[in-house]
Amino acid sequence: MKAKKALLIIDVQNDFCPGGALAVSEGDRVVPVFNKYIEIFIKQKLPILADRDWHPAKTKHFKAYGGLWPPHCIQNTPGARFHPDLKLPPEAIIVSKGMDPDKDSYSAFEARDDKGRAFVDLLRSMGIRDLFVGGLATDYCVKFSILDALKLGFGVTLLTDAIKGIDVQPGDSQKAIDEMIARGAQKATYSTLS
Ligand code: VGL
Ligand code: ZN
């Protein structure tokens, strides 16, 4: 099978956007940029993968049960929906993570599709070798997804114009970017790609 590229959109969900339960500052600014990337990938008939945070109401990921975060992206709630302006095509493949009430998971490589297939198996079955990645948040799910992808031998391009970070500590997002690049991710923006 021919090695393929794919667009990987991480957690562009209402709860990570302004007004949401775990809002990332300017998180919604990635939406119009992704819409342009989506157009490129559709034109080239390349796959588009959208990861989502998809938590049960009770999970060790939330503060009330020992975790770090306020409740967010609870399964089947409006906060867990993709941003309404994100133009995901019907053929986009949606994968979900964070369903295990006993553990934190920040990486798309812990996600599964609607048939329960593990993300890495999905990528391999589709012949995908290179991932173009952006989304929310730079210093959590984007970072952990990219570090896993690199460990597993995928080529990774970080779309630096389509990421926003949480910055629990100031500088976390920049550190995350530096780490992803140091481990082998390439950087690109819409103008360098198109
Ligand atoms: C995320 C914090 C908690 C993310 C998910 O998508 O980056 N961050 N859950
Ligand atoms: Zn979460």
In the prediction, which pLDDT does 193 show? 86
* Residues within a 6 A CB radius of ligand 1: 11, 53, 69, 106, 136-137, 140-141
Where residue 2 falls among pLDDT bands split at 50, 70, 90? low
State in Å: Cα 73 to ligand 2 middle: 7
Phi, psi of 148 (to 5 degrees): -65, -45
State in Å: Cα 61 to ligand 1 middle: 10
pLDDT, greater one: 103 or 75: 75
Q: CA–CA distance from 180 to each of 34, 54, 88, 105, 125 (Å)? A: 20, 24, 26, 18, 25
Q: Does the reported pTM lie above 0.85?
A: yes
Alpha helices by DSSP H, the chain: 30-43, 119-125, 143-151, 172-182, 190-193
Across 146-173, average pLDDT: 97
**Of the ligands numbered here, which is closest to the C-alpha atom of 164?**
1
Q: Do 48 and 38 touch, CB atoms closer than 8 A?
A: yes
Catalytic residues, by residue number, are 11, 97, 141
Q: How far apart are CA 12 and CA 186, in angstroms?
A: 21
**Per-residue pLDDT tens over the stretch 77-110:** 999 999 999 999 999 999 999 999 999 999 999 9
Across 146-167, average pLDDT: 98
Burial string for 89-101 (b: 16+ CB within 10 Å, else e) reads eeebbbbbbbbee
State in Å: Cα 41 to ligand 1 middle: 25
Work out the mean pLDDT of the chain and round it to a whole number: 96
**Per-residue pLDDT tens over the stretch 164-193:** 999 999 999 999 999 999 999 999 999 998
